[in-house]
Amino acid sequence: MRAPLTIERTMTLVLFMLIFALATRIPLDTDTWWHLRAGQWMVEQRQIIQGDPFSYTAAGVVRVQADWLSQIVLYGAYTLAGDLGLALFTSMLATGGMIALYYASAGSGYLRAFVMILGAATAAVFWSARPQMFSFALSAVVMLILALYKRRHIDRLWWLIPVMLLWAQLHGGYFLGLLLLYGTLAGEIVNHGLRSQAPHVIALPRLRKLALVTLLATAVILINPAGLRLLLLPIQTFTLGPLRQFIQEWNPPDLLQANVLPFTALLIVVSALLIARRRVLDWTELALVVGSGYLALTAARNIAFFAVIATPIVTYHLAALMQARGWALATVKRPTPGMIRLNQALLAIVALGTLAKIAFVMDAETVREAQRDIFPVLATEYLNREQPPGMMFNTYNWGGYLMVNAPQYLVYIDGRTDLYGDLVLEFADIIAAEGDWRATLADYDVKLVVIEPLSPLSLALQNEPGWRTAYSDDLAAVYTSLP
């Protein structure tokens, strides 16, 4: 029998339509493009990339292809529906993850919806058309499975094994799932050791099963094209110096920046609740909040993972506080026919508004104008029209775009920092026109340069004998060497 369309149920449906609308955005992330190019190559060649085929500076170098399957999915979405496909890829995974968190939470639909808004606003800062969306959605699924097991005694633990196996093919963020699993195990062991008064401590026999499933879920990660190297990838990534030097998302967030304020608020709220209810402290919750909070405070890209952890935990404590004080909101179990029609009308209005927002944002001309502000669209058209010869030096953020839209050229660099390593430092010297940049370009036999027109290198090339400005606009400049 279908559940009646109460106000509470209507509000929940409205919530997820609004989250879907929030997550549907023009794909402007610079990393999206090299993921698309990799997916295209694998579909066309019918094999997983081994040695790099897209650059001349890392030609043949083997990158741990942790995101091979998601790149194929991303390319499939782009092939089917272009930029709209990329936008829907993002919004579906974002909404799916938030739905999982909703069911992992506690309290009334009203309470959950209120906290979900804060959680979605926190995570949304890093929702984009990239493989990391799978890590967001799957970390929420793991959180749901653990919440069902710990709080409701519903056993879906065996699902963790195929989830982790799939995750290992989709994104290197699989280690976030391991942090959830091992953090839960450690927290529950401490709960027993310190005789925690928390209301939902996992009993020892059930904890042993969780330990077994966790070990099996860890083992299946080895079933991937890179084998053991995938398990070592997180360590290699976190120790890669250029990441923190040059990539903003790997640096600590500015807690007062407008789009980071929801994270700041969520961090304060969950911390205050854990302190206020310290007499029934659950060490698992503390371990997960502290661990994910540390990751988010040291690298902004982990803010979305913190939202996955903190959002359900906030609902647990708010629901308990409201129940203890008798603040439960009255709910209508059997709405009148008039109320049902009103709720249906509200859903129809919100659904139409969501579709209108998507149509407006994803209008072809709107997308093109937005991309012109970020990517060298017109400069790339010049490259394809004039076909200037020679090896190309390009700026870091445009490498992926050029790989897709001017594939006849090998790039100097793109967003795959884990592939290039210290070459990023060389790029920084060249783009700043510092050190022996002329000799470095000569060593690579560079005859073509595509960079920002106001960069130090651009200003230097304008006065450099043997170079000429072949094309320039407000965003990009193309320089070619004279014969």
Q: Are residues 271 and 414 located together in one domain of the fold?
A: no
Domain end residue (candidates: 288, 308, 324): 324
Structure tokens at 145: 């499975």
In a domain, 233, yes or no: yes
In one-letter notation, the amino acid at residue 219 is A
Q: Are residues 414 and 273 located together in one domain of the fold?
A: no
Q: Are residues 260 and 130 located together in one domain of the fold?
A: yes
Q: Are residues 274 and 156 located together in one domain of the fold?
A: yes
Q: Are residues 316 and 388 located together in one domain of the fold?
A: no
- Number of C-beta neighbours around residue 373 at 10 A: 10
Rounded to the nearest angstrom, the gap between the alpha carbon of residue 238 and the centroid of all alpha carbons in its chain is 17
Quick one: which of 467, 475, 122 has its CA closest to 302?
Answer: 122
Q: Are residues 305 and 402 located together in one domain of the fold?
A: no
In a domain, 252, yes or no: yes
Domain end residue (candidates: 284, 299, 324): 324
Number of domains in the chain: 2
| Cα–Cα separations (whole angstroms), residue 189 to 143, 146, 148, 183, 287 | 18, 15, 18, 10, 11
- Side by side, the strands of the sheet bearing 446-451 are 391-394, 446-451, 477-481, 467-472
Q: Are residues 120 and 24 located together in one domain of the fold?
A: yes
Q: Are residues 388 and 463 located together in one domain of the fold?
A: yes
In a domain, 178, yes or no: yes
Map tokens 């036999």 to a residue: 445
In a domain, 346, yes or no: no
Q: According to the 3-state scheme, what is the secondary structure of 316-380?
A: HHHHHHHHHCCCCCCCCCCCCHHHHHHHHHHHHHHHHHHHHHHHHHCCHHHHHHHHHCCCCHHHH
Q: Are residues 302 and 380 located together in one domain of the fold?
A: no
Quick one: which of 136, 147, 118 has its CA closest to 273?
Answer: 118
Supply the pLDDT for residue 249.
86
Q: What is the pLDDT of residues 88-103, one digit of tens each?
A: 999 999 999 999 999 9
Distance CA 311, CA 306 (A): 8
Domain end residue (candidates: 263, 289, 324): 324
In a domain, 335, yes or no: no
Domain extent, residue 437, equals: 375-481
Per-10-residue mean pLDDT of the chain, 483 residues long, equals: 79 95 95 98 96 96 95 98 97 98 94 96 96 98 98 97 98 97 98 94 97 98 94 81 74 93 98 95 97 96 97 96 79 79 93 94 94 97 97 97 98 93 92 95 97 97 95 97 89
Structure tokens at 268: 């304060």
Q: Are residues 130 and 199 located together in one domain of the fold?
A: yes
In a domain, 1, yes or no: no
Supply the pLDDT for residue 243.
66
Supply the pLDDT for residue 260.
96
Q: Are residues 309 and 439 located together in one domain of the fold?
A: no
Structure tokens at 396: 């870091």
CB 464 within 8 A of CB 433: no
In a domain, 69, yes or no: yes
CB 378 within 8 A of CB 476: yes
In a domain, 130, yes or no: yes
Q: Are residues 244 and 168 located together in one domain of the fold?
A: yes
